[in-house]
């Protein structure tokens, strides 16, 4: 308690005649000695007076009154008399309500405070009191207790509430939500168990005494009651509560605690002194309080057992802190250093998340920019493309370019956008199939990831037919599948193709008729020459016989040439549908036709591993291999028997067949022209042949969608390479 002490005066005066005397050295030493003595006297008087003031100043003890202030003050007056005798000085004991005690402590009007643990934590947070010097001990029956807890009571006949987890959403009765033992410690247990604390209308505040909360429980107005330890036992002792009617939830085993409790135990009321209280007085006060229990009558008069050494009030502060109760009801101040020190991992995680989020946003923006640029480029290419292009979404045209409008004969996009492919197509396509059926097959294939290309007949705006070659590809447009259709107007090309086919057919027919008509007079010439030769018999001169032989030989060669022309014209003229052909069977049939030539030339034919199959015309393929093997026999070397091998395999998108011989070979400058009509390889001596065999082979391969080439060196044989498209092969 702040005090104002009188300041000691400094003695003055100089002695008789001193005002006009000049002191010598001895006089000066004497004056110094007198001054020191005077200072010591002043210090002694000051210290003595200070001790007297302290001894005369009363020790003021403040006691928190839970109910009636006057009654509490009267009950605790014996403590004042006891402390006066123990301390040898005046002691004043006063009872206060909570607001009045707060004011007295703030005014430094109290030296000692005896209050409940919650209120002590508030005063401690304000630095108004120091650490406790003692803890109150109460008597419960035969037990002396320095701790307490809280009880959670439920009705014994309520099977739905047996554990803390059953309290979610239930109503609670309590004397006061600000009471440590009657609400806060129970709520702390709920939080520890992960159960939400009751709020608002879920709480019924009954006020004191605790009996009211228990009565509300038994009457069914609430589901559970929160009360202080010993209150249930007190009601049972008074006969106001049947112990069988209630159930203690979350019961704790405390072997040295005589009452039922649902929470851990917390220390009883502390005794604390103000900061700055003289250490000697605080020490003597502590001794007096700790020995008060020896005075049984005094302790009982105060309603307690006595005082014990100070307990740890950290658990009380933990409850208040978790409950956000005073003095922890204000938001705590956190500096950046505190935040970093306490939540370093979380801060790092948040920073990393922000960086990743920023990076993701940046990447997404970059990708969106690329998408926008891509769409812009696509739009420009789409509009500027000379090829008709249309976009199909859900079987409806949503966009088309200027080329598409032009080829359809439309003036604006509104004439085509919103319509479907079937709206501008005939019901039946040229192959006889319904347009709807073909369209659905193609659409499903395109949506499935394929890129079909096909011929299709559309109708222009004026109703005229238009033949197009259509290629379709799938794209994703605004998160929806779309089809990009590219058209090629082949109406004129198909007309020219039909005209060319008609011309070729006429030419083939002409060649066939002409060849047939030429053979008839040629046979007559040959017959009459043969008749003349027989009539002359031995009378014919040598020169005449030579003339007749030359004429007959020319007629035979002419007939062979006409037959070859007929064969050439027949290639591809057969309307027999193509089928899967085993090339090994075809080669064996060709060899059967060449049996005589093979035997006479002593040729050896080697067939490699099983030959592939191709889709084609069997008669044309037999003619193909018959010509190639026949040429190999015809153009053999004189000193060697022909060795001919036929092999084949699947290679990528093609079926490859090789026919290799050991004949005279073909010069490099002749390798291209040997496939032309009436062209033969140049040899050292005349060879049989019409110059049409390889031309027929080339025409057959072309008709089958393939090609024929040759690798050869003079004197080292030749290899003819046949390449069939894989779609036609097996």
Which CATH number does 147-267 carry? 3.40.190.10
What's the token pair of residue 178?
Answer: 């600000």
Buried b vs exposed e over 127-166: b needs ≥16 C-beta within 10 Å? ebbbebbbbbbbebeeeebbbbbbbbbbbeebeebeebeb
Class of domain 576-730: alpha beta
Sequence spans of domains, the chain: 58-142+271-323, 147-267, 385-489, 509-570, 576-730
Q: What is the pLDDT of residue 328?
A: 84
Each residue's pLDDT tens digit, 250-261: 999 888 899 999
DSSP-H helix ranges across 410-536: 435-447, 491-536
> pLDDT value at position 678?
63
Specify the pLDDT at position 686: 55
Contacts of residue 504, defined as CB under 8 A and 6 or more positions apart, other chains included, come to none
Spans in the chain with pLDDT lower than 70: 1-56, 332-334, 511-512, 514-516, 519, 540, 560-561, 563-577, 677-691, 727-730
What pLDDT was estimated at residue 16?
Answer: 33
Q: Residue 553: what pLDDT?
A: 74
Phi first, then psi, for residue 472 (nearest 5°) are -125, 135
Q: Judge whether 411 and 457 are in contact, CB under 8 Å.
A: no
The pLDDT value given to residue 174: 96
User: And the tokens for 714?
Assistant: 């003079």
What pLDDT shows up at residue 379?
81
Predicted local confidence at residue 575, as pLDDT: 54
Q: Which residues contact 139 (CB under 8 A, 6 or more apart)?
A: 145, 304, 305
- For residue 683, the model assigns a pLDDT of 57
Measure Cα distances from 543 to 230, 535, 552 in Å: 157, 16, 14
136: which strand partners? Answer: 307
Nearest in space to 637 (alpha carbons), one of 715, 538, 705: 715
Give the architecture (CATH level 2) of 58-142+271-323.
3-Layer(aba) Sandwich (3.40)
Q: Output the six-digit token pair for 728.
A: 């036609």
Run of H or E residues at 349 = helix 344-384
Best CA proximity match to 485, nearest among 377, 384, 422, 393 = 393
The reported pLDDT for the residue numbered 90 is 93
Tell me if the domain spanning 385-489 has CATH number 3.40.50.150: no
Alpha-carbon distance 567 to 467, whole Å? Answer: 34
- For 352, other C-beta atoms within 10 Å of its C-beta total 10
Are 180 and 149 within 8 A, CB to CB? Answer: no
Q: Do the first three CATH levels of 58-142+271-323 and 385-489 match, i.e. the same topology?
A: no
Judge whether 421 and 439 are in contact, CB under 8 Å. yes
The pLDDT assigned to 469 comes to: 93
pLDDT of residue 12: 36
CA distances from 198 to 187, 203, 411, 494 (A): 8, 6, 75, 87
């Amino acid at each position: 308690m702040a005090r104002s002490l009188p300041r000691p005066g400094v003695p003055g005066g100089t002695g008789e005649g001193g005002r006009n005397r000049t002191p010598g050295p001895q006089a000066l030493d004497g004056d110094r000695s007198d001054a020191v003595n005077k200072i010591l006297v002043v210090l002694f008087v000051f210290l003595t007076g200070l001790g007297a003031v302290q001894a005369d100043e009363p020790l003021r003890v403040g006691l928190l009154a839970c109910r009636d202030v006057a009654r509490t003050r009267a009950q605790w007056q014996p403590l004042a008399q006891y402390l006066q005798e123990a301390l040898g000085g005046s002691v004043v004991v006063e009872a206060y309500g909570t607001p009045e005690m707060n004011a007295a402590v703030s005014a430094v009007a109290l030296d000692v405070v005896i209050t409940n643990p919650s209120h002590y934590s508030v005063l401690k947070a304000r630095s108004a009191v120091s650490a406790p010097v003692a803890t109150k001990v109460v008597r419960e029956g035969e037990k002396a207790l320095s701790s307490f807890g809280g009880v959670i009571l439920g009705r014994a006949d309520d099977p739905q509430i047996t554990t803390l987890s059953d309290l979610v959403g239930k109503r609670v009765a309590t004397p006061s939500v600000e009471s440590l033992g009657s609400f806060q410690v129970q709520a702390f247990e709920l939080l520890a168990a992960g159960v939400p604390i009751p709020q608002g209308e879920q709480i019924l505040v009954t006020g004191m005494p605790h009996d009211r909360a228990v009565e509300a429980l038994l009457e069914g107005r609430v589901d559970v009651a929160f009360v202080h330890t010993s209150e249930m036992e007190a009601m049972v002792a008074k006969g106001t509560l049947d112990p069988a009617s209630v159930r203690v939830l979350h019961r704790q085993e405390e072997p040295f605690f005589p009452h039922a409790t649902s929470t851990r135990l917390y220390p009883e009321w502390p005794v604390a002194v103000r900061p700055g209280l003289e250490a000697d007085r605080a020490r003597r006060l502590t001794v007096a309080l700790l020995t008060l229990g020896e005075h049984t009558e005094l302790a009982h008069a105060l309603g307690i057992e006595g005082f014990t050494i100070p307990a740890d009030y950290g658990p009380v502060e933990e409850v208040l802190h978790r409950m956000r109760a005073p003095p922890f009801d204000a938001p705590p101040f956190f500096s950046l250093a505190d935040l970093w020190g306490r939540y370093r991992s979380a801060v790092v995680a948040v920073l990393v998340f922000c960086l990743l989020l920023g990076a993701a946003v940046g990447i997404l923006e970059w990708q969106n920019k690329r998408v926008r640029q891509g769409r812009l480029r696509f739009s420009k290419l789409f509009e500027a493309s000379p090829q008709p292009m249309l976009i199909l979404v859900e079987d409806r045209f949503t966009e088309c370019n200027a080329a598409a409008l032009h080829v359809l004969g439309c003036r604006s996009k509104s004439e085509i956008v919103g319509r479907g492919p079937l709206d501008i197509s005939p019901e039946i396509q040229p192959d006889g199939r319904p347009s709807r059926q073909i369209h659905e097959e193609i659409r499903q294939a395109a949506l499935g990831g394929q890129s079909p290309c096909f011929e299709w007949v559309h109708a222009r705006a004026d109703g005229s037919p238009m033949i197009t070659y259509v290629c379709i590809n799938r794209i994703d447009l605004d998160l929806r599948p779309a089809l990009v259709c590219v058209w090629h107007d082949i109406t004129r090309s198909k007309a020219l193709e039909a005209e060319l086919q008609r011309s070729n057919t006429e030419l083939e027919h002409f060649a066939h008729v002409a060849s047939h008509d030429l053979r008839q007079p040629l046979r007559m010439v040959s017959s009459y020459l043969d008749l003349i030769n027989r009539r002359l018999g031995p009378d014919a001169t040598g020169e005449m016989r030579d003339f007749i032989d030359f004429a007959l030989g020319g007629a035979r060669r002419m007939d062979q040439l006409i037959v070859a022309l007929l064969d050439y014209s027949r290639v591809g003229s057969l309307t027999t549908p193509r089928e899967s052909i085993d090339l090994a069977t075809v080669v064996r049939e060709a060899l059967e036709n060449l049996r005589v030539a093979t035997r006479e030339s002593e040729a050896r034919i080697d067939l490699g591993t099983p030959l592939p199959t191709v889709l084609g015309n069997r008669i044309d393929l037999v003619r193909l291999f018959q010509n190639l093997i026949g040429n190999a026999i015809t153009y053999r070397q004189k000193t060697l028997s022909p060795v001919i091998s036929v092999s084949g395999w699947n290679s990528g998108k093609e079926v490859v067949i090789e026919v290799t011989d050991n004949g005279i070979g073909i010069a490099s400058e002749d390798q291209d022209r040997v496939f032309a009509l009436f062209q033969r390889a140049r040899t050292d001596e005349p060879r049989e042949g019409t110059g049409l065999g390889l031309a027929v082979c080339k025409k057959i391969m072309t008709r089958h969608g393939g090609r024929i080439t040759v690798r050869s060196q003079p004197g080292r044989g030749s290899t003819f390479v046949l390449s069939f498209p894989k779609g036609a092969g097996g």
